[in-house]
Amino acid sequence: MSLPIQPESLRRCLDRLVSPAMGEAEQPSSLSLTVLHLYEENPPVALEKIHSLLYPHQCRVLEVDDLEQADLLARVWKPNVVLLGGKFSDPIAYAWQLSQYPFLSALPLVTLTPEITQAANQVPGLSLFPCLVSIATHRNPTSGSGSPEISALWQVIQMAAGISWTPHILVTDFSTLEENLSTMAVPSGGQTIPEFKASHSIGALVQYMQMAGFRSSIGHSWHDITRQLQHCSVDLWLLCVHSAEPHPLLLEIIQRLEQLEVKPPILVWNCQVAGEGGNAETRSFEAMWGAIATRILPPSLSITELPDRINQALMNWQM
């Protein structure tokens, strides 16, 4: 808090400290993090709401606009992460001043703007975790903890605090989505869609992904998939496609994905039997699914090679 202390500011500060403690008493088994929110000038409206948005995650947020006070809070409260948001009159000078406070500079810093991120990068010894989503200028701060901005911010806070992150892979067999549509396209020649990789079912694939260290689930319906994508609960979407035939659902998928502010990497696995179809069919498949795919996986890819491709896509997406 800044001097002179105003009664309303004191009340809000006490509310922020008391409310999380009550939540922790109700759920003692929940992991609680303490975030020190540090800013120089008055924060935007969205940042003022950051406490209430992170509260569902059992996260205590302390707010301060003075480096000396922040270092004192760091000694007393021992926060897990420092959150740097808002505007800074001289970001480079501010980052250098921060580095002079031993308790404060020893904490991981989550930066929310390109300016403070670039400035802090020039100061040796600081541990940075950029989160350059639109939280600082988001016009709808009451959208809740399930918004893309808060979900991305919470993930970065967890990483900065040293909490292990297990990627969630959503696996979908496109043929099952086709079966749910009354307008299901019939493959040319009346041929039936082959089973996934002839011998590997989606269930077996999900089980293999879990053995490889991923959290995996099956997207059974387009409605369920859309809901998970909107809530940013998916780190990578693996879509298994068995046919190069066009389907009306693809257009809807493209339209829905274009509406998402934040979308995960999408791997489209060409699950046609290796060797079937010529180069023309392969080019047709890539042209059709390239509209949504981060990367298209070839039919020759074995299931044992899949985890490496997933890890590569996740790493490239975070860079």
Count CB neighbours of 73 within 10 A. 21
Name the residue range of residue 149's domain.
7-160
| Distance in angstroms (rounded) separating the CA atoms of residues 310 and 297 | 10
- Kindly state the average pLDDT of the residues 78-86: 90
Strands (E) across 198-319 are located at 215-218, 236-241, 266-270, 295-297
199 plus 144 within the same structural domain: no
147 plus 179 within the same structural domain: no
Q: Note the pLDDT of residue 187.
A: 43
228 plus 300 within the same structural domain: yes
Of 11-20, 120-129, 148-157, 211-220, the range with the lowest mean pLDDT is 11-20
Token pair for residue 72? 């004192």
Residue 197 lies in a domain: yes
pLDDT band at 79 (very low <50, low <70, confident <90, very high): very high
79 plus 177 within the same structural domain: no
pLDDT band at 277 (very low <50, low <70, confident <90, very high): low
- Kindly state the average pLDDT of the residues 13-36: 55
Residue 295 pairs with which residues in a beta bridge?
267
Token pair for residue 247? 């389907």
Which of the given ranges, 10-14, 50-54, 175-179, 299-303, has the highest pLDDT on average? 299-303
Query: What is the phi-psi region of residue 103: left when phi exceeds 0, alpha when psi lies from -120 to 50, beta otherwise?
Result: alpha
Mind listing the pLDDT tens digit for each residue in 174-198?
888 766 554 444 444 444 433 344 3
AA letter at 146: G
The answer to whether residue 27 scores a pLDDT higher than 90 is no
Cα pseudo-dihedral 166, 197, 297, 155, rounded to 10: -10
**Count of structural domains within the chain:** 2
Mind listing the pLDDT tens digit for each residue in 123-146?
988 998 888 765 544 444 444 444
Cα 201–203–206 angle (5° rounding)?
A: 115
The answer to whether residue 91 scores a pLDDT higher than 90 is yes
189 plus 115 within the same structural domain: no
pLDDT band at 49 (very low <50, low <70, confident <90, very high): low
pLDDT band at 292 (very low <50, low <70, confident <90, very high): very high
Residue 258 lies in a domain: yes
pTM listed for this prediction: 0.50
The answer to whether residue 25 scores a pLDDT higher than 80 is no
Which of the given ranges, 99-113, 121-135, 148-162, 235-249, has the highest pLDDT on average? 99-113
Q: What CATH number does the domain containing 143 carry?
A: 3.40.50.2300
194 plus 308 within the same structural domain: yes
Q: How far is CA 224 from CA 195, 210, 221, in A?
A: 22, 20, 5
Q: Are strands 81-84 and 109-111 parallel, antiparallel or unpaired?
A: parallel
Q: Are strands 266-270 and 236-241 parallel, antiparallel or unpaired?
A: parallel
- Tell me what the pLDDT averaged over the chain comes to: 77
Nearest CA to 24 out of 60, 62, 77 is that of 60
Percentage of the chain surpassing pLDDT 70? 70
Q: Note the pLDDT of residue 207.
A: 83
116 plus 189 within the same structural domain: no
306 plus 208 within the same structural domain: yes
Mind listing the pLDDT tens digit for each residue in 238-249?
999 988 787 788
> For 129, how many CA atoms within 13 A lie in the half-sphere containing its CB?
19
- By the 8 A CB rule, do 131 and 153 touch? yes
Q: Note the pLDDT of residue 137.
A: 40
Last residue of a domain, one of 133, 160, 187: 160
106 plus 177 within the same structural domain: no
pLDDT band at 108 (very low <50, low <70, confident <90, very high): very high
Last residue of a domain, one of 144, 160, 176: 160
